[in-house]
Amino acid sequence: MSARLIDGKAVAQTIQVGLQARIAERASRGLKAPALATVLVGEDPASQIYVRNKRRTCETLGIRSVPIHLDAGIDNAELLATIDRLNADDSVDGILVQLPLPRQLDATTVIERIRPDKDVDGFHPYNLGRLAQRLPTLRPCTPYGVIELLRSTGESFHGKRAVVVGASNIVGRPMGLELLLAGCTTTVCHRFTRDLAAEVARAEIVVVAVGKPGLVRGEWIAPGATVIDVGMNRNADGSLSGDVEFAPAAERAAWITPVPGGVGPMTVTMLMSNTLKAAESRAA
């Protein structure tokens, strides 16, 4: 392997230390702790793990966690009533509704009901629109975390050819907006892209967020590229792997993220950063 590893755990830790200090400094001025409400609907095992991790990280950093667990069978009106209550609660700075939601619930309606200044996931059309207009406020956590990982390499973004593989609302699309904001010439690939190999081979920065193990072949990676793998796929033996064939990609890339230990630790860290930001702007 010739690529250097981008250590997401270390970058996340550095950012968390800074957040912890800012939160402690607020407390020393008599300000209340930032508060994050995490809404979990039902018993999806992966969602339970993600939400538990978010709640624990809150406690580590001095953010007040407001855990809300709703029954899998609730209807839209009940979930919207919960959002309305949290929107109106002055002691709550951030609201996160863990996705995916059970089938009978409509995620779009729910996301649009969250007050944009409490939308710490950055999924509300107001916050995405601000990002699209180069006026970022609360930024989607995973793409924001990827930008921090790219920044940690010390390489410049300006004029770089960036290719995003995957066009989901949560990662791919906002990732495209973030890279554009950072000055890259940005292409977003998706299921109708005709020649994915050729698109990836042109890229100086590749971000892959699809959820298919090994989708991006190592031989597609341009020599010297930076490769960010957002994929988190569970193998039959219980281990995790990304969307990029790691070993052959690492032979060619200059920088690459491991899975696990790359993007994963950044998502929760940027959620904490957004929660502090929401608290700071409410106090202002």
> Is-contact 100 170, C-beta < 8 A?
no
Give 111 or 225: the residue with its C-beta nearer to ligand GUN.
Answer: 111
Q: Which stretch binds ligand GUN (CB under 6 A): 7-15, 91-99, 184-192, 276-284?
A: 91-99
User: Is residue 20 flagged as an active site residue?
Assistant: no
Pairing mode of beta strands 226-229, 205-208: parallel
Helix (H, G, I), strand (E, B) or coil at 123: coil
Q: Which is nearer to ligand GUN, 26 or 242 (CB)?
A: 242
Tokens 């281990």: give the residue.
Answer: 239
Name the nearest CA neighbour of 159 among 205, 227, 127: 205
Residue 68 makes contact with ligand GUN by CB under 6 A: no
Determine, following the binding rule CB under 6 A, whether residue 127 of this chain makes contact with ligand GUN.
no
Please enumerate, as own/partner, the contacts of 29-33 that have beta carbons within 8 Å and a separation of 24 or more.
31/283, 32/64, 32/91, 33/62, 33/63, 33/64
Among positions 159-198, residues that touch ligand GUN (CB under 6 A) are 170
Residues in contact with 108: Cβ distance below 8 Å, sequence separation at least 6, in sequence order: none
Least distance (Å) between residue 83 CB and ligand GUN: 13
Q: String of b and e for 174-207 (b: at least 16 CB within 10 Å)?
A: bbbbbbbbbebbbbbbeeebeebeebbeebbbbb
Q: Which residues are annotated as a binding site for NADP(+)?
A: 166-168
Nearer to ligand GUN, 121 or 199 (CB): 121
Please pick, from the candidates 68, 70, 99, 254, the single residue that binds ligand GUN as defined by CB under 6 A: 99
Please tell me which residue in 93, 117, 119, 121 is annotated as part of the active site.
121
Return the half-sphere exposure (C-beta side, CA atoms, 13 A cut-off) of residue 217.
Answer: 8
Q: Is 54 a catalytic residue?
A: yes
Catalytic residue among 16, 98, 160, 243: 98
Compute the least distance from the CB of residue 175 to ligand GUN, in Å: 12
List the catalytic residue out of 54, 118, 160, 277. Answer: 54
Give the tokens for residue 164: 């995003």
Binding of ligand GUN at residue 141 (CB under 6 A)?
yes
Could you confirm whether 13 is annotated as catalytic? no
- Residues marked as catalytic: 54, 98, 121
Per CB under 6 A, residues contacting ligand GUN are 96-99, 121, 141-142, 170, 267
